């Protein structure tokens, strides 16, 4: 019962924050609601016995991506102007399509007989994940580091101020 209560509380936080992100007319509100959504998801992760992943989610999403997004929002003009900052068009067809897609998939979820293992995951998981990264997933792990490096360099190159004269030459 306690677990169910916790789940529903976290689900409410997640869905509610997501709704603000999706429907708010102010981009700043959306951004801060994103924080709530991420925190709710972290809770869900913990509930699913993924302690390490939950910490990663907290560090990367909340500590990294979210802060970055807020920076981007703040660096662009006109955030105070609701109509400019978070203009949304054709909301009705988008709402219908999203709802239909969700409904179809929820229907599918309930209709599918999911294969389930005999036992459930129990923490702590860090030891196992570490072993897997240096064993089975060694190559993807290294590739991931290259992707990150490329993204880092790419971001620096893209966001650098454009030298007009150099471009014309």
**Could you say whether residue 113 binds other proteins (CB under 8 A)?**
no
Give me the least distance between CB of 166 and other proteins, in Å please.
15
Sequence-ordered list of residues with C-beta below 8 angstroms from that of 86, at least 6 positions apart, any chain:
24, 25, 26, 27, 30
> Which of 64, 124, 134, 138 contacts other proteins by CB under 8 A?
64
**DSSP state at residue 63:** I
Q: What is the DSSP string of 133-156?
A: HHTTTHHHHHHHHHHHHHHHHHHH
- Residue 80 is a binding residue for other proteins (CB under 8 A): no
Nearer to other proteins, 12 or 169 (CB): 12
Three-state SS for 21-49 is HHHCCCHHHHHHHHHHHHHHHHHHHHHCC
Q: Which is nearer to other proteins, 37 or 166 (CB)?
A: 37
Q: Say whether residue 166 binds other proteins (CB under 8 A).
A: no
State which of residues 9, 80, 88, 134 lies at the interface with other proteins (CB under 8 A). Answer: 88
Q: How far is the CB of 169 from other proteins (least distance, A)?
A: 18
For residue 160, count CB atoms less than 10 angstroms from its CB and return exposed for 0-12, middle for 13-18, buried for 19 or more: exposed
Query: Nearer to other proteins by C-beta: 48 or 80?
Result: 48
CB 46 within 8 A of CB 54: yes
Binder of other proteins out of 128, 134, 138, 142 (CB under 8 A): 128
Is residue 62 within the footprint of other proteins (CB under 8 A)?
no
Which one, of 74, 81, 103, lies nearest residue 25 by Cα?
81
- Under rule CB under 8 A, which residues in 1-60 are in contact with other proteins? 1-4, 7, 11, 14-15, 18-19, 21-23, 27, 30-31, 34, 37-38, 41, 44-45, 47-50, 52-53, 56-57, 60
């Amino acid at each position: 019962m306690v677990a169910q209560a916790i789940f529903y509380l976290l689900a409410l936080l997640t869905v509610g924050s997501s709704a603000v992100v999706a429907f708010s007319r102010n981009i700043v509100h959306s951004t801060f609601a994103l924080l709530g959504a991420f925190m709710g998801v972290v809770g869900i992760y913990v509930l699913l016995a993924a302690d390490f992943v939950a910490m990663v989610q907290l560090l990367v999403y909340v500590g990294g991506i979210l802060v970055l997004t807020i920076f981007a929002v703040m660096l662009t003009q006109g955030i105070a102007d609701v109509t400019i900052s978070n203009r949304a068009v054709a909301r009705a067809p988008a709402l219908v399509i999203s709802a239909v897609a969700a409904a179809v998939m929820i229907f599918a979820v309930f209709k599918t007989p999911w294969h389930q293992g005999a036992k459930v995951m129990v923490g702590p998981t860090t030891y196992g994940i570490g072993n897997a990264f240096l064993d089975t997933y060694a190559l993807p792990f290294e590739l991931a580091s290259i992707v990150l490096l490329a993204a880092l360099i790419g971001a620096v190159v893209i966001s650098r101020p454009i030298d007009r004269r150099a471009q014309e030459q």
